[in-house]
Structure 1
């Protein structure tokens, strides 16, 4: 006899983590920080080790208060989860029921389709435009009476493109007020464009906007899993209902607070990542690759059918990246050595193509 399984999960692929790297190679497949944890963050974690036999505080009062002060919002608007991806799942469960529609651009964050299907909702994917950006007119045209939630990943993962402020403001104004618009700002700290819409300000000015942030990228806490949402009060209340109890550990909360206190040190590191991203982008552009201007901590190559060939050449050069067969490659911005390897490996690709 075969155990009964949920039939709908047959259409849900398991999330695939970025490929690991062999010793000495550059792992640029997961958009992680290339920097080791700050000493002050390690100290904060160490101080909490003696109490890990106790459950963490679900309310996380110190962290919530500091985030509220940082963003100048009421603490009741802030909810936490094990990374912003878990908070994204909470948002879907809180807003969309079976048969409801959840919209997002494609290609965008690869977890969106699975999260929607797991919740029993229907994913609606709207292709990016010719510049690898959100096609907001097409997204607006795709809104139906079943639409409950729209994700705007800004900057977008994996292309690194941004939605400009005026365009997003007009889009929000045109979307029905009973549809929640979630602005996923996982990569916001790396944006130097000066044109991207400010998600928190849009939340403050619109009753149907929520914002996602994470400590995994710029703050370098990917291994501790902590992110948060800023959402309307009625949404925040339901997020607390659907959240996994004790899903954010005390160590993660301590590390997040310490990171907020180390903003100046982290700013230096973020600037280093941005500088290496720009160096990689410029080198690949000069070499003739179809690389997209990024405002995240990675670059995107619209490699199309050449994706797997380029991935293999990078691997030969000691670089592991995230490949999306038939679409392109996402290469995280790492250390200077990491980017040196990328440039060297892809220079050899061009030489091979021209031979």
Structure 2
């Protein structure tokens, strides 16, 4: 938890984009406030059509939600409410897993490989007649690692007939040529694959809550029959997302700025004797030498927010990429904390 009594010099704990929303999105949001007395159903449909064109699918293959986490959880409820099991890597992002467990499913956790990628062979072997959902987070949170994208596509083609496969691509757009690496084309080919994207990360709209998933029409219907998709979205978020979706220059700039911060931080922590998991995202994670509680407390006292994880019974620090000024704050705080 954040200590709100201490001024936050560097908020590096939630994988937020420090450079967003884009100026075009901000303008669209401000102009839409006067329309706040109206529902945004028509704007939602417009955004759905834009997304469908980009992803090469039909509008019926798109479902919007307030962030991709909302869609992960809704899918878990829809598919796992009668029990069964869900399979994912460990460590990974656990919102879908935790929701599935809460509604009665079991979790089959498959350890990552030595290079921190998904063990696709072991995941395939774990699928059984009670598997309701397979979850792959690629790039993976909290590790920042990627699993070979062609290998993921091959895995999906071979196993989507056994159980639906959810590929979470929240951080994909921090990579160069992200569309070439996406599994979304498998949906157009008819495979039972669900792909999630979000406006919370590179688009810088985490607090505005909007994301989408791409799936077969049948799979979208199985979720949307239980919950109303666009009813949870406000017109400001929709207008902002529409503007940001078209602002390719802003996205490219954020990708470059994030990479610069990541390379600077990597170089600096290496000089301090740390070694991170090579990251392809807007964060990095590395093992620390001191106790987690002491480390976190000391960092917060210096106004730097980070996230702590216990991996293999050892403390790890996950730090989000901020501005260059914020990353300098982080390095100076790290020197004091572990010095």
Q: TM-score of the superposition, structure 1-length normalised? A: 0.86
Secondary structure, in 3 states, of the residue corresponding to 1:60? helix
Aligned to 1:300: 285
Within the candidate set 231, 235, 255, 2:240 is matched to 255
Within the candidate set 51, 54, 58, 1:70 is matched to 54
Within the candidate set 133, 140, 154, 1:156 is matched to 140
Secondary structure, in 3 states, of the residue corresponding to 1:125? strand
**Does residue 270 of the first structure (1) align with residue 258 of the second (2)?**
no
Residues of 2 paired with 1:80 and 1:161: CA distance?
Answer: 27
Aligned to 1:44: 28
CA contact (8 A) 1:20 1:320 kept: no
Query: Number of paired residues?
Result: 334
Matches within 5 A, 1:3-82: 19=2, 22-57=6-41, 60-82=44-66
Secondary structure, in 3 states, of the residue corresponding to 1:40? helix
Aligned to 1:187: 171
Aligned to 1:11: none
Residues of 1 paired with 2:148 and 2:17: CA distance?
Answer: 26
CA contact (8 A) 1:126 1:138 kept: yes
Within the candidate set 122, 125, 128, 1:141 is matched to 125
User: How far 1:124 sits from its partner (Å)?
Assistant: 2.0
Secondary structure, in 3 states, of the residue corresponding to 2:225? helix
Out of 178-187 and 310-319, give the one that drifted further.
310-319
The higher-RCO structure (CA 8 Å, 6+ apart) is: 2
User: How far 1:321 sits from its partner (Å)?
Assistant: 0.3
Within the candidate set 107, 132, 137, 2:91 is matched to 107
CA contact (8 A) 1:105 1:126 kept: yes
Aligned to 1:331: 319
Structure 2 vs 1, CA of residues 59 and 52 (structure 1 numbering), >3 Å: closer, same or farther? closer
Q: TM-score of the superposition, structure 2-length normalised? A: 0.90
Give the root-mean-square deviation of aligned CA atoms.
2.4
Secondary structure, in 3 states, of the residue corresponding to 1:315? helix
Q: Which runs of 5+ in 1 are unaligned?
A: 1-17
User: How far 1:20 sits from its partner (Å)?
Assistant: 5.8
Structure 2 vs 1, CA of residues 305 and 344 (structure 1 numbering), >3 Å: closer, same or farther? closer
User: How far 1:176 sits from its partner (Å)?
Assistant: 5.2
**Does residue 227 of the first structure (1) align with residue 211 of the second (2)?**
yes
Residues of 2 paired with 1:48 and 1:293: CA distance?
Answer: 41
User: How far 1:41 sits from its partner (Å)?
Assistant: 1.4
User: How far 1:286 sits from its partner (Å)?
Assistant: 3.5
Within the candidate set 140, 152, 156, 1:168 is matched to 152
